[in-house]
Amino acid sequence: MKIRFLTAIMGILMGAAVSAQDISKYQYPHHVNISWETEPSTSQSVNWRTNELQKVSFVEYTEATASPFFEKDVKRIEAESETFEGGDDAVWNYHSANIIGLKPNTLYSYRVGNGNFWSEWAEFRTATGTNEPFTFLYYGDVQRFILSKGSRAIRQSIIHSPEAKFMLFGGDMVHRGGLNKENWNEFFQTGEWIYQNYPIIGTPGNHEHLIARSGENLSEHWGLNFRFPQNGPEGHKEETFYVDYNNIRVISLNLCRYKYPEDRDVILKWTEERLKEFEGDWVFITHHYAMDASARNRTPGIRFPDFKALYEKYEVPIILTGHEHLYARGRMDDKFPVYVVSVSGPWQNAIQFGNWIERAGTSLQLFQEIKVTPTELHYVSKTITGELYDEFTVTKDKKGKLSYEPGKNLPPESLVPPADFKDRYKKELVDSWESDLNTYLNKKK
Ligand SMILES: [Fe+2]
């Protein structure tokens, strides 16, 4: 009895000691990330989290200098802060601020926090607002085993493309969008200083919703973790929106809402208006669900025929998607857009080879570098070991006519199904694999 009592007391004391450390640790800002709510050449939005002891938090910023003695020039903005009690791990204060009035093409230093608890200083460069060439990165689903293996895509992509101007995520950044443990906590640990220096743009996947299977009820964590533009249709803010970065427009569509006719109509009309009004050089659209369901255990078919028609009407060059947990690239009916389905994390599916697919891949972690000039888009898909996996170029002539040139001399396709394929898929899907693969390979001869 005595021993049990002593053990209990020791447990309480040890627990209290660990807990006190945690309190101090989490009073420091963490999950810091930058994005845009407004114009990228003159503003930068910042998001972070602390424990509930830091009720008021600030962002401090100044033009970056090589000298470390810049404190006298620092400006300060008080964050908008929100206490969130519905978390699975603790009560957190989420903070965000939109820094405006910045100079274009200028490097700034910033930090977030208050009192004795501040983040480290980090840097961002505002967009130039002109049309010089630049590169951005795209990632399909990270989703599962985020820290263990998803991190390879995030970290290796920045090592291979440190010049990238932003990171675009096609949804399912986590597996359970309503949970911090094993999900958002791992996602932010994966990026850490990268997310403090490279702006994120993200579109919600079905797994950022509370009912992941059907993609219903966007988790509150989406709005708490990120600060995106409020320029979407009413009721869809920060999930359907656009960012104009220099000469390109990046549109995020939350097509998890597609199943509701009212939402579908609103998003379709809004998208057409955004395409019609745009006067820059290129539009990119990202939505989580691929246009064609390409995972072998899903019913094949075009998911969004009215959006497909809209993309063709406006000749959107590239649509960036995920959800299938494999790689596929191609055009449908020889028209623009070029559809891309990709995956950055380790969870993989076997493929069903839709007729439109020109290049496929399975059992691969990938990221995409998209190089933009006023007249050319150079798309490169790389493995996380840095090897070229796929490539194509879209060019625009003086009259605005687009042409499409798939890469030549690409390495052999990796089409090996995941190791547990035979356990996870119905027998007929396993049995037909070999002949479907041969049909696909023969078609390319
Ligand atoms: Fe998904």
Q: Do 362 and 384 fall within a single domain?
A: yes
Q: Do 324 and 392 fall within a single domain?
A: yes
Q: Do 40 and 157 fall within a single domain?
A: no
- What does the longest C-alpha to C-alpha distance in the chain come to? 88
Q: Do 113 and 163 fall within a single domain?
A: no
Q: Which residues constitute the domain of residue 118?
A: 2-125
Provide the edge-to-edge strand list for the sheet that holds 167-169: 200-202, 167-169, 134-139, 366-372, 376-383, 388-396, 402-406
Alpha-carbon span 50 to 83, nearest angstrom? 10
Q: Do 394 and 283 fall within a single domain?
A: yes
The answer to whether 384 and 365 are in contact (CB under 8 A) is yes
Alpha-carbon span 88 to 26, nearest angstrom? 15
Closest to 170 in 3D by CA, of 70, 264, 287, 272: 287
Q: Do 114 and 145 fall within a single domain?
A: no
Per the rule left: phi > 0, alpha: psi between -120 and 50, beta: everything else, 96 is: beta
Q: Distance, CA 140 to ligand 1 centroid (Å)?
A: 9
Q: Do 316 and 384 fall within a single domain?
A: yes
CATH number at residue 226: 3.60.21.10
425 has a pLDDT exceeding 60: yes
Q: Distance, CA 172 to ligand 1 centroid (Å)?
A: 5
Condensed to tens digits (0 to 9), the pLDDT of residues 135-151 reads 999 999 999 999 999 99
Boundary-marking domain end, from 96, 125, 154: 125
Q: Do 100 and 226 fall within a single domain?
A: no
Alpha-carbon span 97 to 78, nearest angstrom? 7
User: Mean pLDDT over residues 67-91, rounded?
Assistant: 96
17 has a pLDDT exceeding 80: no
- When divided into structural domains, the chain yields a total of 2
Least confident of 101-110, 212-221, 282-291: 212-221
Alpha-carbon span 52 to 93, nearest angstrom? 5
Q: Distance, CA 298 to ligand 1 centroid (Å)?
A: 12
pTM of the model as a whole: 0.95
Ion ligand 1 — residues with CB < 5 Å:
172, 205-206, 323
User: Kind and range of the H or E element at 135?
Assistant: strand 134-139
Question: Quick one: pLDDT at residue 18?
Answer: 52
CATH number at residue 60: 2.60.40.380
Q: Do 92 and 156 fall within a single domain?
A: no
Q: Distance, CA 9 to ligand 1 centroid (Å)?
A: 46
305-313 vs 261-277: helix crossing angle, rounded to 10: 10
Q: Do 299 and 426 fall within a single domain?
A: yes
Q: Distance, CA 322 to ligand 1 centroid (Å)?
A: 7
Boundary-marking domain end, from 75, 98, 125: 125
pLDDT confidence tier of residue 23, bands split at 50, 70 and 90: confident
Closest to 62 in 3D by CA, of 120, 122, 117, 119: 122
Closest to 224 in 3D by CA, of 208, 211, 240, 212: 208
Q: Do 117 and 148 fall within a single domain?
A: no
Closest to 253 in 3D by CA, of 205, 297, 216: 205
The answer to whether 178 and 219 are in contact (CB under 8 A) is yes
* Mean pLDDT over each residue of the chain, to the nearest integer: 94
Residue 59 corresponds to which tokens in the numbers above?
């962002």
Q: Distance, CA 435 to ligand 1 centroid (Å)?
A: 27
11 has a pLDDT exceeding 50: no
User: Mean pLDDT over residues 319-323, rounded?
Assistant: 98
* Percent residues over pLDDT 70 in the chain: 95
User: What one-character DSSP code corresponds to residue 102?
Assistant: P
Alpha-carbon span 7 to 121, nearest angstrom? 44
User: Kind and range of the H or E element at 221?
Assistant: helix 220-225
Q: Do 105 and 249 fall within a single domain?
A: no
367 has a pLDDT exceeding 90: yes
Boundary-marking domain end, from 69, 94, 125: 125
